[in-house]
Amino acid sequence: MKTQLLLRHRIPAGGNLFHHATADPYHHFCALEGKLHADVCIVGGGLTGVSAALHLAQNGISVALLEAQKIGCGASGRNGGHIANGFSCELKTMEKMLGFESTKMLWQMVDSYLVNMDENILEHDIQCDRKFGYIYAANNSYQMRELASLNDRLKLKYDYQKTTLLNKADLGKFLKTTRYSGGLFDKTCGQINPLKYLQGLVRQLETLNVKIFEQSPAKAISQGPNITVHSEKGRIKSKFVVLAGNAYLNCNTPSLYNKSIPVSSFVGVTSPLSRALIQSILPRNVTVADCNKIPDYYQIVAGNRILFGCGINFLGKEPKDLKKVISNRIKRVFPQLTSFELDYAWSGLISSTINKLPHIGQINSQIYYAQGFSGHGVVLSGLTGKLISRAIMGDSKDFKLFSSIHHKELPPYPIKNIGLGIADFCNTLRQNF
Ligand SMILES: Cc1cc2nc3c(=O)[nH]c(=O)nc-3n(C[C@H](O)[C@H](O)[C@H](O)COP(=O)(O)OP(=O)(O)OC[C@H]3O[C@@H](n4cnc5c(N)ncnc54)[C@H](O)[C@@H]3O)c2cc1C
């Protein structure tokens, strides 16, 4: 049996990316040539693949990792760097879908993984600009009531005591805009430079002798007693395969491609701003996301610049006037920012599921996959990589909790494309007004 794998989109090699410009110069890994044996072959060099590789290698399992282009060229090296707890799906919706006990276990798993991430950053001295302090900002009184109810739910039902509700006046101490009705502050969430973080994990992989190959797209998987992943100039025989290509992987297995869609999101980074200007915008240097379904998300990053993410394109495309789209959103939130340049602007693909929960599972007993973090994957991708590695090592309890989440299929072509086209048109109208 053969599983065909393709790169969904050729990712632009350079791109005007702040993270790539500020991270360490790229360490290049050579392409795979010839035959190789490993216990596990991982397809995809983003946070999911690298995390799975790390947890396997730390337990003495031999790993080979194939990256189609460059480590971190996908979403993991082009995201907003927001470290947010939980899921893209709301907790009360999850409780209805999965029941309270399962939802609480999932929430606590993410929370503990976030603690593990910070321990690893400290232990391995990963210089990734980690900052603490996160605000969910309410655009209206309905969203404010929802935040108040989330705050109560977290404290009373989830034993999570790290949040504080902020009224409009309290919020004003953190954020100089009249746009919001209030917010919810979380002291352990915040931000990182995601590419610097990923590079730190890759350095750990190198010390553990993980074989890493770049410019080596996995093209097909054939199965026998061993499983073989075929690339352009070589192949890897292994006992297990982990598909960690997320939105950038196009796999011919219907259970994968029917359950998530690649949508694009946009990020821009301003030129350096004066201290006085920064004080007039984000005086306490917190990371912010608003509560809209398609949120604005922003923070101050290295060099006194503002990183601002926004918008979505349901067809996975990038607007021609990308800088203008982002600049307009910035001016709407901070009208006091009258003149600024965007030094960097880029887009990336988010793999989104219908219920906004990650889609994790197995194609068969040897092939595992993870996708569909729905724009909330900086923490979740690392966690799922860890859960897949534990399942491969024989402990599948937590993996099963995730993989038992039911995911609806998207409608087939052409209904899906017509639906996405309409969604995109409505979204463009929303962005313009
Ligand atoms: C613009 C943007 C902003 C975001 N902001 C945030 C945020 O602030 N906070 C947050 O929590 N989440 C955010 N996300 C989501 C988060 O970045 C992702 O969920 C996470 O990085 C997914 O990691 P991954 O390893 O699964 O996928 P990716 O990082 O996309 O890695 C997949 C890799 O697989 C490779 N690949 C694909 N097919 C093949 C093949 N056939 N052979 C070999 N390699 C292959 C690709 O080249 C790619 O490098 C954002 C995403 C985007 C795009």
Count CB-CB contacts under 10 A for residue 72. Answer: 27
Mean pLDDT over each residue of the chain, to the nearest integer: 92
Measured in Å, residue 372 CA sits from the centre of ligand 1 at 10
Atom of ligand 1 nearest to the CA of 71: 49
Residue 67 Cβ < 6 Å to ligand 1: yes
Beta pairing partners, 64: 41, 211
The H or E element containing residue 211 is strand 211-213
Query: Residue 225 in contact with residue 113, Cβ under 8 Å?
Result: no
Please give the C-alpha separations between residue 363 and each of 53, 92, 282, in angstroms, as whole numbers: 19, 30, 46
Q: Tell me the range of 184-193, 338-347, 413-422, 423-432 where mean pLDDT is highest.
A: 184-193
Residue 381 Cβ contacting ligand 1 at under 6 Å: yes
Report d(CA 424, CA 433) in Å as an integer: 14
Q: Which two tokens stand for residue 123?
A: 């232990």
- Point out the ligand 1 atom lying closest to the alpha carbon of residue 346: 1
Confidence of residue 240 (pLDDT cuts 50, 70, 90): very high
Residue nearest to atom 31 of ligand 1 (CA): 46
402-407 LR contacts (CB < 8 Å, sep 24+): 402/106, 402/358, 402/360, 403/360, 403/361, 403/362, 405/97, 405/98, 405/355, 405/357, 405/358, 405/359, 405/360, 406/97, 406/355, 407/259, 407/260, 407/353, 407/354, 407/355, 407/357, 407/359, 407/372
Please indicate whether residue 44, judged by its CB atom, sits closer than 6 Å to ligand 1: yes
Please tell me whether residue 167 adopts helix, strand or coil conformation.
strand
Eight-state DSSP code of residue 52: H
Cα separation, 178 vs 333, whole angstroms: 8
CB 73 less than 6 A from any atom of ligand 1: yes
If residue 41 lies in a helix (H) or strand (E), which one and from where to where? Answer: strand 40-43
Q: Are 312 and 427 in contact (CB under 8 A)?
A: yes
The DSSP bridge partners found for residue 241 are 41, 367
Query: In this predicted model, what pLDDT tens digit does every residue of 294-313 receive, in sequence order?
Result: 999 999 999 999 999 998 88
Structural domains in the chain, CATH included, are: 2-79+195-260+356-415 (3.50.50.60), 133-190+262-352 (3.30.9.10)
Q: Are strands 63-66 and 131-138 parallel, antiparallel or unpaired?
A: unpaired
Count helices and strands in the chain by DSSP H and E runs: 13, 21
pLDDT at 13 exceeding the cut of 60: no
Report how far apart the first and last C-alpha atoms of the chain are (Å, whole number).
51
Closest C-alpha to 260, from 350, 348, 353, 368: 353
Taking the CA atoms of residue 387, residue 390, residue 395 and residue 400 in that order, the dihedral angle to the nearest 10 degrees is 20
Cα separation of 155 and 24, whole Å? Answer: 40
Q: Is pLDDT larger for residue 338 or for residue 209?
A: 209
Q: What is the pLDDT of residue 251?
A: 78
What does the DSSP assignment read for 352-374?
Answer: E-TTSS-EEEESSSSEEEEE--T
Ligand 1 centroid, distance to 44 Cα (angstroms): 9
In one letter, which amino acid is 429? Answer: L
pLDDT digits (tens, 9 = 90+) for 246-259: 999 887 777 788 88
- Mutating to test ligand 1, I would choose from 242, 378, 402 the residue with most ligand atoms within 8 A of its C-beta, which is 378
Residue among 249, 263, 307, 347 to mutate when testing ligand 1 (max atoms within 8 A of CB): 249
Q: Which atom of ligand 1 is nearest to the CA of 191?
A: 8
Residue 5 has pLDDT above 80, yes or no: no
Q: Which residues contact 21 (CB under 8 A, 6 or more apart)?
A: 344
Please work out whether the CB of residue 378 comes within 6 Å of at least one atom of ligand 1: yes
Tell me what pLDDT residue 285 has. Answer: 95
Give which of 371, 399, 406 is closest to 249, Cα–Cα. Answer: 371
Separation CA 381–CA 360 (nearest Å):
10
Determine the pLDDT at residue 433: 46
pLDDT in tens, 83-140: 999 999 999 999 999 999 999 999 999 999 999 999 999 999 999 999 999 999 999 9
Block residue for tokens 């350095």: 203
**Segments in 30-131 forming alpha helices (H):** 47-57, 91-98, 100-123
List pLDDT tens digits, range 138-189: 999 999 999 999 999 999 999 999 999 999 999 999 999 999 999 999 999 9
Q: Is the pLDDT of residue 28 over 90?
A: no
The pLDDT-based confidence of 25 (bands split at 50, 70, 90) is confident
- Measured CA to CA, the distance from residue 211 to residue 189 in angstroms comes to 33
Give me the mean pLDDT over the 347-355 stretch.
93
- Lowest average pLDDT, out of 203-212, 344-353, 423-432, goes to 423-432
- Which of helix, strand or coil describes residue 236? strand
Q: What is the pLDDT of residue 429?
A: 59
Kindly indicate the confidence band of residue 23, based on its pLDDT and cuts at 50, 70 and 90: confident
Torsion angle of C-alpha atoms 68, 63, 41, 395, degrees rounded to 10: -130
Residue 3 or 259, more confident: 259
Q: Whose CA is nearest to atom 2 of ligand 1?
A: 79
Cα Rg of the chain (Å, integer): 21
pLDDT in the model for residue 416: 67
Q: What is the pTM of this model?
A: 0.95
